[in-house]
Structure 1
Amino acid sequence: MTEESAQTLERHFRQTLVPAFRAAGFVGSRRNFRKIRPGWAIALNIQGGALGRVFAINIGIHPLGLPDTMEQMVDPKKIMHWQCQFSSRLGPGCSDFWFSHRSSEATISSAVARATAMFADVGEPFIRRWAGENSPLLTVSPDEFSRDELDFEGLADTKIHRALLLARLRFLHDDFEAAAEFARQGLNLPSAIFNYRVARNLEQVLERAIAQLNSGV
């Protein structure tokens, strides 16, 4: 993509897409934006393709009180989408999707308009569903999880990772019995043998949850 086309794309982001982010309550600049809701941090990122002529919108959802993907506690006002424990990409069904365009201003304008409309029609409902008071991440039961009844829509990449995050979430909300059960399920997955760090974190959650249950708290 030429420098002129790149500048045109950035201008259309500023004029069309970024105002839609701000209208939805996000703050930030250039290509990174954030919003904090009770219990959650949400991060948006506009990602360009390596060869140009495409872009994507990454959505990160992070439960406040949990460590980030690097196992560090992060300031929610500064969090980036790649640090969020749950992440997806804006698209039909919030699947892996890229908006394509050519070098002309007309195709760039059309692509940014499509992305803006999809953010309103798909992205905002997706965020409200997963980063809200009644998020499935807070309501799914261990039995439902074991039967794969919840479609995570791409959030978290493996079942063992999801088990760890759900165990930590339940512990954070003082549901120690569910926290222990999610941890047990994760440790019983065949992939636990190959994911030492995740397995160790699951063991720690299980130990802490059992300690809380035994203490009568």
Structure 2
Amino acid sequence: MPRLESSIKEHLSPALRSDGFFGSGRTFRRLSGDFIHVVNVQGSRFGGMFAVNLGIQPRCIPDMLGNSPDTTKIREELCEFRRRLSETTSDQWWEHEATKESMDAAVRAAASVYMTAGRRLFSELSGPESPLNKVTPAQFEAGHFSFSGFRITKVRTARSLALMRQSVGNLADANAFARIALANLKIAHAFRAELEALCRATESKLPLGQADWDTPS
């Protein structure tokens, strides 16, 4: 019986490898400056179709499980910033029959979308000028930014941005992003202690009057 992995190896893997990705099977990774990029082909549990997941993990912060990211092993679902490969803003799935010809055609179509849309999506969030590096707390709070569809929740995104700013010594923005995360915490109590500690740690190193943070009730 034909396997989707064979079609991926023949029709998607060459495009990914030409862009510096390495891997096999359904998951490919590459190092791009301060970020790790991940591409994963996700089959439907009902069979007969697949989607392509894209992940971006800043190297300077922990992954979704709180571990230091490993460029050679990290999975897409552990990346802090994720989205589906798509020509639009909605999910895109490629259907196929249980034949090599059908699988080949579906993977070729997905590879084409990667080359026209996926490369651009990764490029938009890569390099020193990435909006992940450049967005300010005010812009983030006002929604005046674009992460090209790579987002999770507002709390996790603000937390990640706070940790990224702390890693480069931008303590004022780290403090501000942490306070944004706290203000939107609601029932996500697992982050409260961490975010409060991050606020205290960054505030204690700021010039007097530059931060005004009190522990939320």
* TM-score normalised by structure 1 residue count: 0.89
Per-residue CA distance 1:24-70 (angstroms, 9 max, x = gap): 10001111111011111111111111121111111110001201101
Q: Of the candidates 95, 102, 116, which is equivalent to residue 97 of structure 2? A: 102
Partner Cα distance (2:84, 2:163) in 1: 24
How does 1:193-204 map onto structure 2 within 5 Å?
193-204=186-197
Rounded Cα–Cα distance in structure 2 between residues aligned with 1:212 and 1:206: 10
Once the two structures are superposed, residues 192-212 of structure 1 have per-residue CA deviations (whole angstroms, 9 ceiling, x without a partner) of 131112232221221121122
> How many residue pairs align between the two structures?
209
Does residue 34 of structure 1 match 2:36?
no
Stretch of structure 1 that moved more, 92-101 or 192-201 = 92-101
Equivalence map 1:81-120=2 (5 Å): 81-93=76-88, 95-120=90-115
From 142, 146, 171, the counterpart of 1:176: 171
Unmatched tracts of structure 1, length 5 or more:
none
Q: Does 1:18 align with 2:13?
A: yes
Task: Measure, in 2, the Cα distance between the counterparts of 1:205 and 1:74.
Answer: 20
Task: Please say which of residues 156-165 and 198-207 is displaced more in the overlay.
Answer: 198-207
Assess, with a 3 A threshold, how the Cα gap between structure 1 residues 62 and 94 changes in structure 2: closer, same or farther: farther
CA distance in 1, matches of 2:116, 2:198: 37
Cα distance change, pair 95–201 in 1 and its aligned pair in 2 (3 A): farther
Compute the displacement of 1:214 (Å): 4.8
Q: Is residue 94–residue 153 contact of structure 1 (8 Å, CA) maintained in 2? A: no
Q: How does 1:203-214 map to 2 (within 5 A)?
A: 203-214=196-207
- CA RMSD between the two structures: 1.9
Partner of 2:74: 79
Deviations 1:120-165 (A, max 9, x none): 1111111111132211111111111111112334423211111111
Describe the shift of the 1:121–1:175 C-alpha distance in structure 2 as closer, same or farther (beyond 3 A): same
Asked if the contact 1:93/1:153 (under 8 Å) is kept, the reply is no
**Distance of 2:157 and 2:194 partners within structure 1:** 12
Structure (1/2) with the larger helix percentage: 1
Q: Does residue 149 of structure 1 match 2:153?
A: no
Q: 1:139 maps to which residue?
A: 134
For 1:109, give the aligned amino acid: D
